[in-house]
Structure 1
């Protein structure tokens, strides 16, 4: 299986660092760590853009679907870059596409996606995307 994207296909890049706890008994980063990287990349972008108030915002994003394809092993210690773009914006949902790159490489070690449905913090019912969130998403849309 080959990657379908390169570094240039993404609009937001976040430097990451593997952690000792990311490695598994086989000497490489365990698959569950990639989902932690993905969550970090998405939330760092939204918070830094002022699009998500994790403590007091009226809406929160709930993950309803995830997926990941792996192309090259990673290990501790290794510097990485996490990449993010938005593939689709709905009324209350977003499809994020992500990749993890070894630092200074153009082919990803992994590609993945998250779909968030944004809901009212109190009722947990789907809510329209606030304008600040929508605008931040548009900036990194394909």
Structure 2
């Protein structure tokens, strides 16, 4: 599967026992948690900064998910992360959740996630903090690269 090659980062996220719903698979809302966890863990790691200490915070303004295959605990996951648009105060991410089966990755979901950076007090949009911009810039992909 070549889809994972179009994501500069494949961030590991494990499923948890509590992720499964009554039907025995990961509940749909949990996929959004995987997106949030992967993006923020990556930003903390890549920036070397505790993002909670920045004067601007990234709030989620928009998110979407297309479900392609079911997941279940104890699946191991990799979340593909790329940046579709790096604006002045917002970052638009494109994400993919893959089941890590050791010798291959199986695509389970794709989605979007938009962070808008706002002043922590006024909640008005502000420029993306420089450490966040520096972490996100290498993840920017062109439309042609995203299509493979």
Distance 1:90 1:14 in 2: 23
| 1:61 aligned counterpart, secondary structure | strand
The structure with more helix, counted as a fraction of residues: 2
Whether the 8 Å CA contact 2:100–2:106 is kept in 1: the answer is no
- Whether 1:117 and 2:110 are equivalent positions in the alignment is no
Distance 2:52 2:137 in 1: 23
| 2:47 aligned counterpart, secondary structure | coil
Correspondence list, 1:60-75, <5 A: 60-75=57-72
1:53, CA displacement in angstroms? Answer: 3.1
- Whether 1:137 and 2:136 are equivalent positions in the alignment is yes
Q: 1:97 to 1:12 in 2, by over 3 A?
A: same
Structure 2: gaps spanning 5 or more residues: 142-148
Distance 1:70 1:139 in 2: 27
TM-score for both structures, normalised by structure 1: 0.91
Whether the 8 Å CA contact 1:6–1:107 is kept in 2: the answer is no
| Count, aligned residues | 138
1:55, CA displacement in angstroms? Answer: 3.0
Structure 1 partner of 2:44: 47
Whether the 8 Å CA contact 1:119–1:125 is kept in 2: the answer is yes
> What is the CA RMSD across the aligned residues, in angstroms?
1.5
Quick one: which of 54, 57, 61 aligns to 1:57?
54
Structure 1: gaps spanning 5 or more residues: none
- Whether 1:10 and 2:7 are equivalent positions in the alignment is yes
Quick one: which of 15, 19, 30 aligns to 2:16?
19
